[in-house]
Amino acid sequence: MDDKVLYPAAVGLSAFALLLMVITVCLVNGNRSMQSDISNRQNAINSSVSMSQLNQNLAQALAQTAIDNNDQDIHDLLAAQGITVKAKKK
C-alpha cells in the first residue's frame, strides 16, 4: 500500500484509540463515584435499622413510664409524635 494512505489511517486509528481510552477512564471514574454513593446509602440503611429498634424501645419505655407514673407531659410528648398510649387492662 502507499505510504500516503497508511500514515493517515494509522493516525486516525490511533486518535480513535486515544478517544476510546479517554471515554473508558471517564466511565470508570463515574462508576467509582456511583459505587461510593451506593455504599454510603447502604450504610445509612443498615444504621437506620438499628436506630429504628432503639427508637421503638425508647418509645415503649416512655409509654410505660407515662402509664406507671400517670405523667401527662410524657403522654402529650408521645401524642405529638403520633404515638398513642393505652394502659393494659388487668
Q: Does residue 88 register a pLDDT over 90? A: no
DSSP 84: -
Domain boundaries, the chain: 3-80
- pLDDT of 53 reads 85
SS3 content of the chain, % helix, strand, coil (to 5): 85, 0, 15
| pLDDT, tens digit, 9 for 90 and up, residues 21-42 | 999 999 999 999 999 999 999 9
Q: 69: which 3 cell numbers? A: 407514673
| pLDDT, tens digit, 9 for 90 and up, residues 41-66 | 999 998 888 888 888 899 999 999 98
